[in-house]
């Protein structure tokens, strides 16, 4: 059996991936697994990975293939899972799509932490997502096909997350309201496309859904 694991972003919930989940179920035969994990307070990348793997292992069997689509932080979680020895034996790693993922850490996290240093205690994961973070730098690109989708759109409707993020990134030319273009870029990527969406609009954009599923099926973007 083939599965698609949908991984949400920082401080979010699996419900944010509901439209993507519905799309994949409608247009494919993949089994979709959409875990929820507490990812903001007192959480780390490693603690999230361990929790998600436990949930995935309950649904997969020896010989199954698992694909991943990760929004923002979810893309990083996907990469770490692929390299983890905790994943059930005999499981094959399929294709990965990352959506607005800060592969190289984010200027936003760096600046927010600088302004609110208490977050290093309350939300260790924010420190892990800063530029030049040792955690981020230690995460390798999996030996499989990885597609990167970058959002470069301005907000089409008012969204407080995008508004606040853009204030911190006002001197950065290209970003999606949360993650700057440079941070999305990944060495050894199989494919990269840019869409006219911001970080939040990725969660309901049908062109993004189509491209994501196409990459999962074929290992390339359409």
Domain residues for the domain of 191 are 2-218
Could you tell me the pTM of the whole model? Answer: 0.94
Distance from C-alpha of 114 to C-alpha of 110, rounded to nearest angstrom: 6
| 81-99 pLDDT, tens digit each | 999 989 999 999 999 999 9
Confirm if 121 and 189 have CB atoms less than 8 A apart.
Answer: no
Number of domains in the chain: 1
Interaxial angle between packed helices 73-82 and 45-57, expressed in degrees from 0 to 180 and rounded to the nearest 10: 60
pLDDT at 173 over 90: no
End-to-end CA distance of the chain: 24
Summarize the confidence of residues 3-17 as an average pLDDT.
95
| 28-37 pLDDT, tens digit each | 999 999 999 9
Q: Give every CB contact of residue 130 below 8 A, 6+ residues apart in sequence.
A: 105, 106, 109, 110, 113, 136
> At 129, which CATH number?
3.40.50.1820
Distance from C-alpha of 1 to C-alpha of 168, rounded to nearest angstrom: 44
Confidence of residue 52 (pLDDT cuts 50, 70, 90): very high
Q: In what order do the strands lie in the sheet with 31-33?
A: 31-33, 2-7, 65-71, 92-99, 146-151, 191-195
């Amino acid at each position: 059996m083939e599965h698609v694991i949908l991984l949400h972003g920082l401080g979010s919930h699996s419900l944010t991936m509901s439209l993507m989940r519905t799309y994949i179920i409608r247009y494919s035969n993949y089994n979709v697994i959409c875990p929820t994990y507490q990812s903001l307070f007192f959480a780390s990348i490693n603690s999230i990975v361990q929790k998600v793997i436990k949930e995935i292992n309950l649904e997969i069997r020896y010989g199954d293939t698992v694909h991943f689509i990760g929004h923002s932080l979810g893309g990083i979680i996907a990469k770490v899972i692929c390299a983890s020895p905790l994943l059930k034996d005999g499981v094959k790693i399929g294709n990965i799509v990352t959506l607005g993922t800060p592969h190289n850490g984010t200027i936003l996290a760096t600046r927010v932490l600088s302004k609110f240093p208490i977050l290093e205690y309350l939300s260790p994961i924010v420190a892990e997502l800063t530029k030049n973070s040792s955690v981020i730098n230690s995460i390798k690109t999996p030996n499989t096909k990885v597609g990167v989708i970058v959002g470069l759109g301005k907000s089409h409707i008012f969204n407080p997350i995008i508004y606040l993020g853009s204030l911190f990134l006002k001197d950065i030319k290209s970003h999606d309201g949360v993650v700057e273009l440079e941070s999305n870029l990944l060495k050894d990527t199989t494919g990269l496309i840019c869409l006219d969406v911001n970080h939040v609009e990725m969660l309901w954009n049908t062109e993004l859904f189509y491209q994501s599923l196409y990459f999962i099926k074929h290992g390339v973007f359409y």
